[in-house]
């Protein structure tokens, strides 16, 4: 394990101050991102950073843990029978939501009616390379069909090429569609494809665009959630946004580790295993 995180030296209050300085002007904010490398050296060792939230999340009852899990089935070959089974499981265990592809939203909305389990769907998934117009329309259609949460994938190529105004607008359009209907929005930044600096900037842009959560991964790329990335994302967004750890979270130990280090939501296809593996 590395002995020091190459992330950011400012305290959380300083990070919030930096962010607040740019709230009044999109143009100034985006220019600042373009002009600055946000990766600095943190003044805490990794053991300190990775245990910041430990007391908050230990111990966890099954009921509390279940409420942090988006019970997920995003396979391309998922059938309606499997989706109905997913909904039944979610009701039984009272997971936070089911997370499914948009074509299954209407079915899940019917199956989960009155259960307290929300319908979450994905937008621009899994590549994030749809046009902004299509992402907005996909969001609106999903919401009309019953989606209560939308998890969108950023345009990763635009972020890496420092086209921050495009990334900002891309997120803003989906967030706007969601907020107009009181729907929760999460931004998938696909951490496995990003440098630390890019992760930080993606979090800043997501905050600026008004998202409710930042999310680590689609689960369809070369890597999933890590405790280091979750800790970094939480360090940047603080209490302004939630952090969703998704991709490779398969055991109770995995889930607890993510929650201890700043996640408030877990995306997993192994929700039942997580709950039943004390």
pLDDT in tens, 96-148: 999 999 999 999 999 999 999 999 999 999 999 999 999 999 999 999 999 99
Span 58-72, pLDDT tens digits? 678 999 999 999 999
What's the pLDDT at 78? 98
- Mean pLDDT value across residues 165-192: 98
Separation in Å, CA 160 to CA 6, 75, 132:
19, 27, 17
Retrieve residue 139's tokens.
Answer: 């969001």
Does residue 7 carry a pLDDT above 50?
no
Does residue 9 carry a pLDDT above 70?
no
* Residue 248 and residue 219 in contact, taking contact as beta carbons nearer than 8 Å: yes
What is the per-residue burial (b if ≥16 Cβ within 10 Å, else e) of 217-235?
A: bbbbbeebbbbbbbbbbbb
- Tell me which residues are annotated as active site: 151, 215, 244
Least confident of 7-11, 117-121, 186-190: 7-11
What's the pLDDT at 235? 85
Span 38-94, pLDDT tens digits? 765 444 444 555 555 554 556 789 999 999 999 999 999 999 999 999 999 999 999
Residues of the chain above pLDDT 90, percent: 71
- Mean pLDDT value across residues 205-222: 96
Domain boundaries, the chain: 48-275
What's the pLDDT at 67? 97
* Residue 265 and residue 249 in contact, taking contact as beta carbons nearer than 8 Å: no
- The sign one gets for the Cα dihedral 19, 23, 26, 31 is negative
Separation in Å, CA 18 to CA 67, 100, 202, 207, 236:
32, 36, 15, 12, 10
User: Domain 48-275 - what CATH class?
Assistant: alpha beta
Of 220 and 58, the structure prediction assigns the larger pLDDT to 220
> Distance (Å, rounded) from C-alpha 80 to C-alpha 258?
31
Beta bridge partners of 166: none
What's the pLDDT at 30? 87
């Amino acid at each position: 394990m590395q002995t020091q995180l190459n992330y950011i030296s400012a305290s959380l209050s300083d990070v919030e101050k930096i962010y607040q300085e740019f709230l009044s002007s999109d143009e100034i904010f985006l220019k600042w991102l373009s002009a600055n490398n946000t990766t600095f050296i943190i003044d805490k060792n990794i053991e300190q950073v990775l245990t910041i939230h430990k007391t908050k999340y230990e111990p966890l009852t099954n009921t509390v843990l279940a409420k942090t899990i988006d019970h997920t089935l995003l396979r391309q070959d998922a059938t309606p029978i499997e989706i109905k089974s997913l909904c039944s499981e979610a009701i039984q265990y009272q997971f936070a939501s089911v997370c499914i592809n948009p074509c299954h939203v209407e079915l899940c909305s019917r199956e989960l009616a009155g259960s307290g389990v929300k319908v979450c769907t994905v937008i621009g998934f899994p590549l994030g390379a749809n046009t902004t117009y299509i992402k907005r329309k996909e969001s609106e259609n999903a919401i009309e069909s019953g989606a209560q949460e939308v998890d969108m994938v950023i345009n990763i190529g635009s972020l890496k090429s420092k086209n921050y105004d495009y990334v900002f607008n891309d997120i803003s359009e989906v967030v706007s569609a969601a907020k107009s209907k009181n729907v929760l929005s999460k931004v998938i930044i696909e951490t496995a494809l990003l440098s630390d600096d890019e992760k930080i900037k993606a979090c800043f842009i997501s905050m600026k665009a008004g998202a409710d959560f930042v999310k680590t991964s689609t689960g369809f790329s070369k890597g999933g959630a890590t405790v280091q990335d979750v800790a970094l994302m939480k360090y940047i967004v603080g209490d302004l946004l939630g952090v969703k750890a998704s991709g490779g979270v398969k055991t109770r130990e995995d889930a607890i580790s993510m929650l201890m280090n700043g996640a408030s939501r877990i995306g997993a296809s192994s929700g039942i295993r997580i709950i039943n593996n004390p």
